Amino acid sequence: MTGDPDAASERSVDPVTLEVLRNACTAVAEEMNATLVRTAHSPNITDRRDCSCALFDPAGAMISQAENIPVHLGAMPHSVAAALDAFPPDTLDPGDAVLLNDPYAGGAHLPDLTLVAPIHAEGELVAIAANRAHHADVGGATAGSIAADATEIYAEGVRIPPVKLYEGGDRNEAVADLLSANVRTPGERRGDLRAQHAANGTARERVGEIVDRYGRRLVAEALDAIQDYSAKRMRAAIAELPEGRYRFEDVLDGDGCGGGPVTIAATVTIEDERIGVDFSGTDEQVPGALNAPIAVTTSATYYAVRCVTDPEIPPNAGCYRPVEVDAPAGTVVNAEPPAAVVGGNLEVSQRVVDVLFGAFAEAVPGRVAAAGQGTMNNLTFGGTDPRDGEPFAFYETGGGGFGGRAGADGMDGVHVHMSNTRNTPAEVLETAYPLRVRRYALRPDSGGAGEFRGGLGLRRDIEARAEVTCSLLADRRDHAPYGIAGGEPGAPGEDYLLGGPDSREGGAPDSDEGTARLDPMSTHDLEPGETVSIRTPGGGGYGDPADRAGERIARDLRLGKITEARVREAYGADPGEADDGTTATGE
pLDDT tens by residue, 395-443: 999 999 999 999 999 999 999 998 888 889 999 999 999 999 999 999 9
Q: What is the pLDDT of residues 184-196, one digit of tens each?
A: 999 999 999 999 9
Distance between CA atoms of residues 250 and 515, nearest Å: 31
Least confident of 105-109, 216-220, 303-307, 391-395: 105-109
Mean per-residue pLDDT, 558-566: 94
Distance between CA atoms of residues 241 and 309, nearest Å: 8
**In this predicted structure, what is the pLDDT of residue 215?**
94
**In this predicted structure, what is the pLDDT of residue 578?**
61
Higher pLDDT, 552 or 2: 552
**In this predicted structure, what is the pLDDT of residue 579?**
62
Residues 6+ apart with CB under 8 A from 493: 373, 375, 377, 400, 457, 474, 475, 476, 477, 520, 534, 535, 536, 537
Q: What is the pLDDT of residues 40-75, one digit of tens each?
A: 999 989 998 889 999 999 999 999 998 877 777 778
**In this predicted structure, what is the pLDDT of residue 404?**
97
Distance between CA atoms of residues 264 and 333, nearest Å: 8
Whether 553 has a pLDDT exceeding 90, the answer reads yes
Query: What string of DSSP letters covers 325-375?
Result: EE--TTBTTB--TT---HHIIIIIHHHHHHHHHHHHHHH-GGG-PPP----
Higher pLDDT, 221 or 573: 221
**In this predicted structure, what is the pLDDT of residue 3?**
43
**In this predicted structure, what is the pLDDT of residue 530?**
95
Mean per-residue pLDDT, 145-174: 94
Coil/strand/helix, residue 75 = helix
Higher pLDDT, 511 or 244: 244
Least confident of 238-242, 333-337, 431-435, 497-501: 497-501
Mean per-residue pLDDT, 87-110: 94
Structure confidence at residue 500 as a pLDDT band (50, 70, 90): low
Cβ atoms of 435 and 571 within 8 Å: the answer is: no
CA distance readout (Å), 200 to 203, 297, 574 = 5, 26, 59
Whether 169 has a pLDDT exceeding 50, the answer reads yes
List 248's β-bridge partners, or say none: 266
Mean per-residue pLDDT, 202-229: 96
Least confident of 203-212, 356-365, 509-518: 509-518
Burial class (CB in 10 A: 0-12, 13-18, 19+), 492: buried
**In this predicted structure, what is the pLDDT of residue 422?**
85
User: How big is the CA angle at 20 (ends 208 and 218), to the nearest 5 degrees?
Assistant: 55
Mean per-residue pLDDT, 26-30: 96
Distance between CA atoms of residues 248 and 375, nearest Å: 18
Structure confidence at residue 504 as a pLDDT band (50, 70, 90): very low
Mean per-residue pLDDT, 363-385: 95
**In this predicted structure, what is the pLDDT of residue 74?**
77
Distance between CA atoms of residues 446 and 37, nearest Å: 33
Whether 510 has a pLDDT exceeding 60, the answer reads no
**In this predicted structure, what is the pLDDT of residue 514?**
53
Structure confidence at residue 515 as a pLDDT band (50, 70, 90): confident
Q: What is the pLDDT of residues 116-143, one digit of tens each?
A: 999 999 899 999 999 999 999 999 999 8
Structure confidence at residue 380 as a pLDDT band (50, 70, 90): very high
Distance between CA atoms of residues 315 and 336, nearest Å: 29
Whether 267 has a pLDDT exceeding 50, the answer reads yes
**In this predicted structure, what is the pLDDT of residue 503?**
47
Distance between CA atoms of residues 374 and 482, nearest Å: 10
Higher pLDDT, 577 or 296: 296
**173-188 CB burial, b ≥16 within 10 A, e <16:** eebbeebbebbbbbeb
